[in-house]
Structure 1
């Protein structure tokens, strides 16, 4: 069986800001408000959304990809 790769917690939003992006960290639905503001407003930089949508388990597609291996 293949093991999935688990990376340490990384603040991708901070990294993106360091490269000139606007960035938002999303952990809950309420955290999406700045994304809507960015879409509706004048954009001067790309937006990175650091979204952790499934805590404690890998994404469904990752589980499916590794099933049976």
Structure 2
């Protein structure tokens, strides 16, 4: 699912994956909004089925700046 209203290259992107497959990709304009979305995605993944692997990635200008769980970094 692509959740983006930004037409150009977004400054930040939050990607949520399940079992190695991208399920949500959100483009965000500000770092504060990106970190808020990143934290929200982590909270959501923590409530999901432990039988599946979940990963949340925060990117800025295409570079990864944060990953959850941290062991994935």
Same fold (TM over 0.5): no
By relative contact order (CA 8 Å, sep 6+), the higher-ranking structure is 1
Bigger proportion of residues as strand: 2
- In the superposition, the TM-score normalised over structure 2's length comes to 0.32
Rg bigger for which structure? 1
Bigger proportion of residues as helix: 1
